[in-house]
Copies of this chain bind each other. A is one copy, B any other.
Amino acid sequence: MKKKCVGMLLAGGQGSRLGILTKKVAKPAVLFGGKYRLIDFSLSNCYHSNIDTVGVLTQYQPLELNSYISTGSAWSLDNVSGGVTILPPYQSRYGASWYRGTADAIYQNLSYLQSYDPEHVLIISGDHIYKMDYSEMLNTHIKNHADLTIGGLIVEPEEASRFGIMSTDQENRILEFEEKPENPKGNLASMGIYIFRWPVLKRLLKEDGVKEESQHDFGKNVIPAVLAQQLNVFAYPFMGYWRDVGTIQSFYDAQMELLLQNPPLNLFDKEFRIYSNHESLPPHYISTEASVTDSLISDGCSIFGEVKHSILSGSVVVEEGAIIEDSILLKNVKIGKNARVNHAILDEGVVIAADEQVGSAEQAILLLGKEESDA
């Protein structure tokens, strides 16, 4: 069935800088803001952008992600034609190959795209925090008769060397693109969001697929190749909230922003809801002795102690006398009596014994995982 635009969501990243948080799950499956997983943002964006056909490319620890995504019904992305399809590496008659890079992952799934024969292909990743209506970007892409449109973001000049930096003319036509330049010529950074005309993408990936020296990466190989070919390439400047949460610090900071008086990312907005696929838990209980301020508390929590400026995911228990401050507690964390947790991220299932002290305001964020259990 022919589609106007099909989405390809790159969800194979390990996210090794997130330490133990990605030991057992892929980065897009990491919990954020008490109840979301990172991928919720991209998938919800697809829903709100009327992109009803999305291939999700997985490779690293996909189990949690596969069962989380399921049919995509949580994001209203299950359709009679289209919907969400998980695309893991696979074996074919011609052999078996892991995805060698972001471009290769899509190259190996050209037949998936071919089955919808779309006019355009949207390529996004599953590990950024933002709300964006891709359909506006698509409309601009079509209006420009672009072969490729790249979502772009103004970054602080001192940050620029961490990104792919684009130089554009007044019509946003991209003149130059440098991946992680040492001396950035501008501060319009690529968000890693691409819309390609499908025939152009197909040709480029076939060309890139056979290049021995290529790392098969969009930023490093495909985009420079596009620019070298004098195609119609535009930037689409995005003005909204956007966060890369690739490090422990940025992961922590982005969540703490949710506790501001007027958070830059409004998750209460009913017109652009972030959907997620969460388990059914009862409301949370706050006891007579407890105190909760400046915090986000999820379903199923039981709070008998004090919680200040913290984010608690589902079914966290804070016993009497315990004090939680400036911390993020993921699912099923248990805090014993009179324990103290400060400036810490506790991974799923971590148990802090009574009277224990964990983390400190003076030190870097403490990331604590559960002891390895027998598998």
User: Which residues of A are at the interface with B, using a C-beta cutoff of 8 A?
Assistant: 12, 14, 23-24, 58-63, 66-67, 70-71, 73, 78, 80, 83, 85-93, 96, 98, 109-112, 114, 279-280, 374-375
Contact A59/B91 with A70-B71, A111-B375 known, Cβ cut-off 8 Å: yes
Specify the chain B residue showing the minimal Cβ separation from A65.
B90
Select which of B61, B91, B375 is within 8 A of A110 by beta carbon. Answer: B375
CA distance A87 to B63 in the complex (A): 7
A71: min CB distance to chain B, Å: 5
Contact A63–B98 (Cβ < 8 Å): no
Among A70, A91, A96, the one with the most B-chain Cβ atoms within 10 Å of its Cβ is A91
Please report the C-alpha to C-alpha distance between residue A96 and residue B96 in the assembled complex, in whole angstroms: 12
Q: Can you report 9 A-B residue pairs in the complex whose CB atoms are below 8 A from each other?
A: A61-B92, A63-B85, A63-B111, A66-B86, A67-B83, A70-B78, A71-B73, A80-B279, A114-B374
Contacts A70-B71, A86-B66, A375-B114: A61 and B91 contacting too (C-beta < 8 A)? yes
Q: Which residue of B lies closest to A70 (CB)?
A: B71
CB distance from A109 to the nearest CB of B (A): 8
Residue numbers in B under 8 Å from A87 (CB-CB):
63, 66
Q: Please tell me which one of the listed residues B14, B23, B73, B279 contacts residue A91 in the complex, with CB atoms under 8 A apart.
A: B14
Q: Give the chain B neighbours of A14 by CB distance below 8 A.
A: 91, 93
Give the chain B neighbours of A83 by CB distance below 8 A. Answer: 67
Specify which chain B residues have a CB less than 8 angstroms from the CB of A61 in the assembled complex.
90-92
- For A58, what are the chain B residues with a Cβ–Cβ distance below 8 Å? 88, 90
Q: Told that A60-B90, A61-B90 touch, could you supply 14 new A-B pairs with CB distance under 8 A?
A: A23-B93, A59-B90, A60-B91, A62-B88, A62-B90, A63-B111, A63-B112, A70-B78, A71-B73, A88-B90, A89-B89, A111-B375, A114-B374, A114-B375
Residues of B with C-beta under 8 A to A80: 279-280
B93 touches A96 (CB 8 A): no
Measured CA separation A131–B109 after assembly (Å) = 35
| A304 → B minimal CB distance (Å) | 26
Measured between C-beta atoms, what is the minimum distance from A9 to chain B in Å? 15
A71–B110 Cα distance when bound, in Å, is 24
Bound-state CA distance A111–B24 (Å) is 10
Distance (Å) between the CB of A73 and the closest chain B CB? 8
Q: CA separation between A87 and B67, bound complex, in Å?
A: 10
Residues of B within 8 A of A374 (CB): 114
Chain B residue nearest to A23 (CB atoms) is B93
Q: A70-B71, A71-B71, A280-B80 are in contact. Are A90 and B112 (CB under 8 A)?
A: no
Q: Chain B residues with Cβ under 8 A from A67's Cβ?
A: 83, 85
Q: Which residue from chain B places its CB closest to the CB of A115 in the assembled complex?
A: B63
A62-B12 Cα distance, complex, nearest whole Å = 17
Looking at the assembled complex, report how far the CB atom of A210 sits from the nearest CB atom of chain B, in whole angstroms.
15
A279: which B residues are within 8 A, CB to CB?
Answer: 80
Q: How far is the CA of A255 from the CA of B100 in the complex (A)?
A: 42
The chain B residue with its CB closest to the CB of A97 is B98
CA distance A335 to B23 in the complex (A): 55
Q: How far is the CB of A110 from chain B (nearest CB, A)?
A: 5
**Structural contact, A66 and B89, CB atoms closer than 8 A:** no
Chain B residues with Cβ below 8 Å from A91 are: 12, 14, 59-61, 98
Instruction: Report A199 CB to chain B, min CB distance, Å.
Output: 11
